[in-house]
Amino acid sequence: MKAYVVEKYKKNGPLTLVDRPAPQVQANDVLVRIEATAVNVLDSKIRNGEFKIFLPYRPPFILGHDVAGTVIEAGSGVSRFKVGDEIYARPRDHRIGTFAEFIAIDESDVALKPRTLTIEEASCIPLVALTAWQALVDVANVKPGQKVFVQAGSGGVGTVAIQLAKYLGATVATTTSAKNAALVKSLGADIVIDYQTDDFEKVLSGYDVVLHSQDPKTLAKSLNVLKPGGHLVSISGPPDPGFADAMKLNGFLKLVIRLLSRSARKRAKRLGVHYSFLLMHADGRQLEQIAGLIDKGIVRPVVDKVFPFSQTPDALAYVETGRAKGKVVIKVG
């Protein structure tokens, strides 16, 4: 099969097109013919080597975290899927590799594709929707009537997080540049702040939850918009000791992470708010619930561009501009 690999960790390094044997299925795996995949900032960070300390891949490895496609083989222990099923998934860490023609995925990471989406639309949902779900439902436990601030509402995560927070009954504020204001309003944002001209810290106060996805300066300002007891969930760092425990990191890395997050944790404590770092994980059952919301019209995908498989490196470069409006899809099949 054809696949794009990272031959060595390097900032802005190339992706190389290679021929690889098709993957073997293990008992609980489905073998999927990939019809479409989507690009995530995580692909860029992994290629750059930014995650190799706690999420190491040995080069050369196939990049890519999102997939929509068709089951063409099922392992002996697979009970939820059969040959011919159209599925979508975010394969678990250490088993990624969706910039390819085929992938074997543990069935517990997989769900049937939302019926109402095209295969390209379905491919752009898993990683960002699981991130929004795990941040807003699992960690922050958003309740009706709460106020939620979603940073970068026009990005991959932001476009889903706005819709999910609205579904959970929250009032939603978001930041974006003026050109994307209409988009985030159409997704349900109640308060839209142009981050290029206005300071969200002067506009927002008394928030229950912040979904933080930007830089450390934005993090410090965001803690100030929370009410006492509020919760900032960061998906862009710094990682916290809870994350180090969950990843079962060694004592040295735990210490490094404690130091990296010390100032954010101290600041949060002084303000009487909670700080958590989230690294999303694969979860087929959550994807089933998300498919249900999509098929009811509660969450919709926002696709910026679709690239052919032969332009996978261009698709990654486009996401790296930081200007993508929703998701960038690669059509494989």
Name the residues that contact ligand NAP, by CB under 6 A.
Answer: 40-42, 45, 128, 131, 151-152, 154-158, 175-177, 180, 195, 213-214, 235-236, 278-280, 319, 322-325
Residue 291 structure tokens? 């498919």
Smallest distance, ligand NAP to C-beta of residue 159, A: 8
Toward ligand NAP, which CB reaches closer, 119 or 211?
211
Smallest distance, ligand NAP to C-beta of residue 133, A: 11
Smallest distance, ligand NAP to C-beta of residue 233, A: 9
> What is the secondary structure of 278-324 as a DSSP string?
------HHHHHHHHHHHHTTSS---EEEEEEGGGHHHHHHHHHTT--
Toward ligand NAP, which CB reaches closer, 83 or 182?
182
Toward ligand NAP, which CB reaches closer, 30 or 316?
316
Alpha-carbon torsion (28, 33, 35, 36), positive or negative: positive
Taking CB atoms, the residue at the shortest distance from ligand NAP is 155
Smallest distance, ligand NAP to C-beta of residue 308, A: 20
Alpha-carbon torsion (254, 259, 262, 263), positive or negative: negative
Toward ligand NAP, which CB reaches closer, 30 or 211?
211
Residues 285 and 149 sit within 8 Å (Cβ to Cβ):
no
Toward ligand NAP, which CB reaches closer, 26 or 196?
196
Smallest distance, ligand NAP to C-beta of residue 41, A: 3
List all residues 6 or more positions away from 233 whose beta carbon is below 8 Å from its beta carbon: 135, 136, 139, 140, 209, 210, 211, 212, 276, 277, 278
Burial 123-141 (b: 16+ CB within 10 A, else e): bbbbbbbbbbbbbbeebbe
